[in-house]
Chains A and B, each alone.
Chain A
Amino acid sequence: MTLKLGIFYFLAAFTVWAAAVVVLGKNIVRAAVALIFGFCGMAALYVLLDAEFLAAVQVLIYVGGITILLLFAIMLTSRIGATTARVVNDQVILSAMAAVGLLVGLIYASTSGIPAMSGPPRLPETTPFLGRALLTTYALPFEAVSVLLLAAMVGAIILARKE
């Protein structure tokens, strides 16, 4: 049990470090690479939470899809390796106050607002369960999300096409 807690703290520190590099880093390419590490740390946390399928989906879609797309967009729009003088706008102090206030509220709510829950000692196989749930209970949202993906694809093609 202590080993599991140690692994959790290591992964949490790793993920928060990566997220901080994404948000505060001066070089946009470096921020994107840090985002890859952050997503991998997240996937490891999902494994720790008995969500193996979602960990695989996280790696496939976020690391393999979205981050590569972001890197493509970075390469198409800015000079690689350029560290701009200012990465933040004029609202830094106000935004920092808002973010810290939000964080304090969230920590207060998660420590005192929610009763301690333990759940079942070990979840049964989640992947077959998820597949069955997606095609029975959640069939309508599943189809709606499919239409959304199609619409997003068509929209992106139209937006990015040269006139």
Chain B
Amino acid sequence: MIPLSHYLILGGIIFSLGVFGALTRRNAIAILMSIELMLNGVNLNFIAFARYLPQTMLQGQVFAIFVITVAAAEAVVGLAIVLGLYRNFKTVNVDEINLMKW
């Protein structure tokens, strides 16, 4: 059987890649994609724990379902905001938009 730590490390790698992308990408849609990656890394950890915990009641899988739902809602609202930004500024590069920034 594959050790639990393998899954946790894989989830950590994907989460860290997502963090890096969310902090550095200029395109707002790429930032949203990085956030989806981070949520996926977390989901992998949840499901791995649901599989490996003794006497599991599948709480991890239930939480993963909720995470997926919230991710879908987040993507929809985020993309609507991006489209609104593009309509007003003609760009989706976040470092060229200084609305609501200090």
B23–A16 contact, CB under 8 A? Answer: no
Interface residues on A, range: 35 or more
In the complex, A50 Cα to B51 Cα: how many Å? 7
B4–A35 contact, CB under 8 A? Answer: no
- Closest Cβ of chain A to B65, distance in Å, is 7
In the complex, A103 Cα to B41 Cα: how many Å? 12
Known contacts A66-B36, A77-B86, A133-B57; is-contact A15 B10 (Cβ 8 Å): yes
Residue of A nearest to B75 (CB): A66
A88–B77 contact, CB under 8 A? Answer: no
- Count of inter-chain pairs, beta carbons less than 8 A: 233
- Closest Cβ of chain B to A98, distance in Å, is 7
A78–B27 contact, CB under 8 A? Answer: yes
A160–B80 contact, CB under 8 A? Answer: yes
Q: Residue A114 contacts which of B4, B37, B68, B83 (CB distance < 8 angstroms)?
A: B4
Q: Is there a chain B Cβ closer than 8 Å to A74's Cβ?
A: yes
A156–B71 contact, CB under 8 A? Answer: no
B83–A160 contact, CB under 8 A? Answer: yes
For A87, list chain B residues within 8 Å (CB).
25-27, 30
- Closest Cβ of chain A to B10, distance in Å, is 5
B53–A117 contact, CB under 8 A? Answer: yes
| Interface membership of chain B positions 23-38, coded 1 if the CB is closer than 8 angstroms to chain A and 0 otherwise | 1111101101110110
A134–B65 contact, CB under 8 A? Answer: yes
Residue of A nearest to B94 (CB): A89
In the complex, A118 Cα to B93 Cα: how many Å? 46
In the complex, A65 Cα to B75 Cα: how many Å? 10
Residue of A nearest to B40 (CB): A42
In the complex, A18 Cα to B30 Cα: how many Å? 14
6 A–B contact pairs at CB < 8 A?
A: A19-B37, A32-B33, A51-B64, A61-B68, A141-B66, A159-B81
